[in-house]
Structure 1
Amino acid sequence: MSHTGAEAVAPYEQALDDLLFFRPRVAESARSVLDAAPRSVMGQVLAAYLGVLGTEEKDAVAARGGFGRFRSGLDTEDLTPRERMHLAAATAWLDGDLRGAGRLLGEIGIAFPRDALALFAGHQHDFLTGDAQRLRDRIGGALDAWPQDDPHLGPLLGMYAFGLEESGHYAHAEEVGLAALDRHPGDVWGIHGVVHTYEMRGRFTDGIRFLDARQQDWASGSLLTVHNWWHYALYSLESGDTARVLEIYDAALHHEASAGVAMELLDAAALLWRLYLAEDEQSARWARLADAWESRDDGPYYAFNDAHAVMAYVGAGRIARAERLVQEREDWLVGEPAVDNRAMTAVIGLPVCRALIAYGRRDHARAVDLLLPVRHRLHEFGGSHAQRDAIQRTLVEAALCAGRAELARTLLSERSRLRPLCPYNWSAKARLEERFGDPARAAAARERAAAQASGRA
């Protein structure tokens, strides 16, 4: 802990603990480290990581400026190898080199497998870049070095559970996630990992029971509160309880007191978009959400956020505003910016945004043509399988509306084989058969959807 006096070590440990457990006070805790030791290398590194983990452009710009000033007067010769590696990783991330940052954090994890900060930052990096295998193996590769009595083993298990889930190991992920919660019931990332396993297996009634039983551990007071409420709303949507979905939306996802941060706004957009695809347009809610996105006036920082801003503009009927965002990103790409968000925007972000706009214009054939080539690459611009499913469903609905029966049949065969317990899949199959196929099969699919929604299947 170079340039870190004894008076700053305890605040640093507190800040790290707050980070691992997603406590809102983590920013205050991190500031207290630098108040006690302004030149603390690891205190400055922690502040830099906090500047990028939320995908907030303004936070990253501020962190880059502050970190650059700190580094300009720093002699790195007397620092430890680990501190120099962290400095390099934080600098790369702040400069927009996400892949380089992830690689450097991986090197720290190999050399120092009990570096909780490197593992946490790396895990979040893997989530933001949609790298499911690294999301799993970055943590799995370090776990053997952690003794059973380490107080931070619990959150590491919670991270590992999420990596397992995103890699398709659902039963093992649930087991590991519950083990994490045995150690720390308030580990909201561990709760989040278990919740994802239920989502991916169509066990939404189990998910509701799980969240209800643990509500005091996750439903307020954490940086993940809104996101876990979003998962609860997804469960309610699958069960057909739209009233409960909207109740959750208004109480937790977006309201007058909402912070307006990107990660919460994108949850709100992704939920309303699922209703929009079901022709439940929610115009007043869309208008308020689009206002919130527009007030941010985000630059080209993270393509995944851009797609959700476009959802909000399209949902609110502000097609011109959505098209302006696309044009701004196209103009930015002309300059060939040397950041990883360039490829994320050019290859995935813009096709998705254009497809959402086409869907809003009811040009369903164009939406299909834009989404079809990228549907197996959506992970490249970040998020989880559950989050990206809003875009996958858009492709299904566009195919149905465009009369692309063979494509819709193929997509729904894929979905129902992978997730046989999913009322949406079967209701979409029923609509497909009603329009293009066999009325008897349509009735059977609709009955299956109803049975799953009611918990009878």
Structure 2
Amino acid sequence: ALAVDQKDCWSVHTVAHVHEMKADIEEGLSFMKQTENNWKGGDMLACHIYWHWALYFIEKGEYEAALTLYDKYLAPICIASGSMLDIVDNSSLLHRLQMEGVKIGKRWDDVVQVTKKHTKDHILIFNDLHFLMSSLGAKDHEMTAQLLQPLKELSEFPGESYQHSLIGELGRPLSQALVEFDSGNYDKVVELMYPIRYKIVNIGGSNAQVTASAH
């Protein structure tokens, strides 16, 4: 497909996933650098492809390079668009960097201003977890409580929603695991996540995306 149209962002995105899943970090970095001018104008996927690029840097241990991509591209795009994919990318990338011990500074404060308006959505567990990453990162305790309390209620009365039916088994333990991780209770994180480790894929997202929740 890229041989026909080098600006086909979905094809670029596919190649990015292939390099990620094969752990071809150097090839992935080279591919991104060589093709950036072809896809950086893609309205919907540009931020997400920059996210993939940043993942390669994280896996290589080059955290400053990942932060540079975040500051230069991901954050401005997300703040301007407010789109859900951009929100997920921003929350995920900062969370991954934070797990690596990188100091995020005030970056979470900008993200949480975008995610806060979605506190009551509860449409996808996948999205809720990323909203929670942002509230925990920004130390916004009120928003964290507003996210967690409805999950308890929805797990007890899920109705006909498939996503809500997963909250009891997956949504609540994953949410609590994020809270425990933020508090430094790593043994509790393992206790919560180990029994459901093979079921996490059911919340949605690609293999590259769900690893932020599964790590």
| 1:320 CA drift (Å) | 4.5
Please tell me whether residue 265 in structure 1 is matched to residue 87 in structure 2: yes
- State which structure, 1 or 2, has the greater radius of gyration over its C-alpha atoms: 1
* In 2, Cα distance between equivalents of 1:232 and 1:185: 17
Tell me what 2:115 maps to: 293
Cα separation, 2, equivalents of 1:190 and 1:303: 27
Counterpart selection for 1:340 from 162, 171, 175: 162
Aligned-partner residue type, residue 310 of structure 1:
L
After superposition, the Cα gap between the structure-2 partners of 1:260 and 1:298, relative to the gap in structure 1 and judged at 3 Å, is farther
Write the distance in 2 (CA, Å) between the matches of 1:323 and 1:298: 11
Percent identical across equivalent pairs?
27
Partner of 1:321: 143
Letter in structure 2 aligned against 1:361:
S
Please give the residue correspondences for 1:395-410 in structure 2 after superposition, counting only pairs within 5 Å. Answer: none
Q: So what's the TM-score if we normalise by structure 2?
A: 0.92
In structure 1, runs of 5+ residues without a counterpart are: 1-179, 394-457
Q: Tell me by how many angstroms 1:257 deviates.
A: 4.3
Provide closer, same or farther for how the CA distance between residues 344 and 334 of structure 1 changes in structure 2, counting only shifts above 3 A: closer
Residue matched to 2:34:
213
In 1: Cα distance, 2:169 partner to 2:86 partner: 25
TM-score (norm 1): 0.45
1:246 maps to which of 55, 62, 67: 67
Deviations 1:314-361 (A, max 9, x none): 112234432331111222333332111112322222211110001111
Q: Which residue of 1 aligns with 2:203?
A: 381
Give me the CA root mean square deviation: 1.7
Give ranges in structure 2 of 5+ residues lacking alignment.
none
Distance 1:323 1:364 in 2: 21
Q: Which residue of 2 aligns with 1:182?
A: 3
User: Matches of 1:240 and 1:335 in 2, distance apart?
Assistant: 44
Greater RCO, 1 or 2 (C-alpha within 8 Å, sep 6+): 2
Q: Which moved more, 1:180-189 or 1:225-234?
A: 180-189
Contact 2:108 2:137 in 1 (8 A): yes
State the distance in 2 between where 1:184 and 1:308 align. Answer: 33
How many pairs align?
Answer: 214
Structure 2 CA distance for aligned equivalents of residues 181 and 308 of structure 1 = 32
Question: Structure 1: how far apart are the matches of 2:105 and 2:141?
Answer: 14
AA in 2 matched with 1:385: N
Matched, 1:308 2:130: yes
Partner of 1:228: 49
